[in-house]
Amino acid sequence: MTKIRLLFACYLILLTPVLGLADTCRQLTGTVLDVATRQPVVAKLFLLTATGRIAAGQSSATGMFSVPVPCEATSLIVERTGYKEQSLSLTNASLTAQASGANTVVFVTVPLVPNNRPTGVRPLLAEEFSQLVPTTMTDKRQRTLFFLTDVYTNLPLQARTCFYYTKADWTNCLDPDVIGRFEMAYAEKDELTVKINAPNYYPYEGKLTIDGDNRRTRQDYRLLRDLVIASVQVKGGFRGEQFRCELRPAEGPGIVLTPGTNDWSSTFEVMPQSYRLFITDSQRQIRHQQVVTLTNGLNTVVVNLAPAAQTARPAPTAEVVIPELKPTEYIPPIYFLQSSYQLIPESEAVLRQLAKFMQKNPQFRLRAIGHTDNVGDERLNQALSEYRGIVTVNYLRRLGVPEGRMTSTGKGSREPLVPNDTEENRIKNRRVALNLEKQ
């Protein structure tokens, strides 16, 4: 009898957070991931209400979780030692499904940022030396290439960076180029205070030690902001029909949402801005599109497609099969439309196969080298080629390839694969070359 009472008491303790909730408005289910490695993270979950925090369990070894959310909850809090506390606002109702209740299940992917993620320094790689100003290549002073990016999307940022020198007692403020990059040289040893400010981002302040030697280094600053998550549910269509959800901004690459449960797809690689949502079927037919405006926190969109009876059943087609990659074989480049760095479906298919290979073969690293044709201003072509490399690496990173095993660079139109004398040849030059190397 004593054992039964103890078991019953333990059962009540485990259920206390759930039993203490008021009316449940929805069920949040999803995964917790490391933003850098895309590996699952075991983390504690809390719900924030007007009366304080409510313990809501933790994610599993695979990062999965499921949490009933009371109507008065304003935020989901995710904590793990070694990571920055993550807060997802739940108060945005502008895009929430009209139907609500305990049976409303919303899928989300929640990223955690390691404590050391916002900054990182390392020696320049061989392929990165070409990004230094040519006249400084033989400079005896220490030189550093700085890169500013968004911590969630890894896309370049425009943010003024100020360096406060200790010995010289002066300040040097710099603005990056279109890919978030700038270069600095140092005359002597010093301890600098670095301050970075950008609209809608948390200010960064940290220290930078200058050794005064002639090293060539790369310094990355990844700025933090409030988390934005877009979750889309597609209803309708034929039973078992799969849909692809993509958010496209007015400028920049589109974001393909990660499929989840209950016909939901989700992504955290978005900004608080307007996008056009495209939903396509397995035949690459656009079944629905609309403009959505995302704000900080969780944004949910429910799309009801035409009933199956009103839609002709698509004829089955053979699936495109990409041969299994081998390290000794040539990896075909991926191609882009003119003046675009948007991945096309054929390129995504190649990158999915490449991601599988890299996950099975951790001894290899990748160099993604962007190229353009010779149409237009070469400065713009250089930036476009670098963006194509960045987008390629970001897509592979979303598929689980560790960021530390990939680098990207751009060559503009300087290294055409074929002469730019016909449109057919120019198409071949709008590419990203994919080079595998053993670590």
Distances (CA, A) of 134 to 53, 139, 315, 396: 56, 10, 57, 31
Mean pLDDT to the nearest integer, 67-89: 93
Q: Which of 61-70, 97-106, 113-122 has the highest mean pLDDT?
A: 61-70
Mean pLDDT of the chain, nearest integer: 82
- 412-418: long-range pairs with CB below 8 Å, 24+: 412/371, 412/372, 412/378, 412/381, 412/382, 412/384, 412/385, 413/371, 413/372, 413/373, 413/374, 413/378, 413/381, 413/385, 415/371, 416/371, 416/373, 416/374, 417/333, 417/371
Report which of residues 424 and 141 the model is more confident about: 424
pTM of the model: 0.75
- Please determine, for residue 9, whether its predicted confidence score (pLDDT) is greater than 50: no
Backbone angles phi, psi at 382, to 5 degrees: -65, -45
Q: Please count the other Cβ atoms lying within 10 Å of the Cβ belonging to residue 36.
A: 20
pLDDT-based confidence at residue 82 (cuts at 50, 70, 90): very high
- Average the pLDDT over each of 249-258, 272-281, 323-332 and give the range with the smallest value: 323-332
CA-based torsion, 206, 193, 209, 180: positive or negative: positive
- In the chain, the amino acid numbered 190 is D
Distances (CA, A) of 410 to 131, 370, 432, 439: 9, 4, 9, 21
Mean pLDDT to the nearest integer, 43-64: 93
Integer Cα distance of 236 and 303 in angstroms: 8
Mean pLDDT to the nearest integer, 110-138: 72
pLDDT-based confidence at residue 23 (cuts at 50, 70, 90): low
Report which of residues 282 and 358 the model is more confident about: 358
- Average the pLDDT over each of 32-41, 120-129, 387-396 and give the range with the smallest value: 120-129
- Please determine, for residue 13, whether its predicted confidence score (pLDDT) is greater than 90: no
Structure confidence by residue, pLDDT tens digits, 160-179? 999 999 887 889 999 998 88
Classified as helix, coil or strand, 56 is strand
Structure confidence by residue, pLDDT tens digits, 365-375? 899 999 999 98
pLDDT-based confidence at residue 71 (cuts at 50, 70, 90): confident
Classified as helix, coil or strand, 147 is strand
Two tokens, residue 277: 């949502």
Classified as helix, coil or strand, 214 is coil
Mean pLDDT to the nearest integer, 340-352: 85
The pLDDT value recorded for residue 61 is 93
Structure confidence by residue, pLDDT tens digits, 269-327? 999 999 999 998 877 788 899 999 999 999 999 998 875 444 444 444 444 444 555 55
Two tokens, residue 322: 């990409």
pLDDT-based confidence at residue 341 (cuts at 50, 70, 90): confident
The pLDDT value recorded for residue 81 is 96
Please name every residue paired with 49 in a beta bridge, in sequence order, or none if there are none: 52
Report which of residues 263 and 47 the model is more confident about: 47
Mean pLDDT to the nearest integer, 65-74: 90
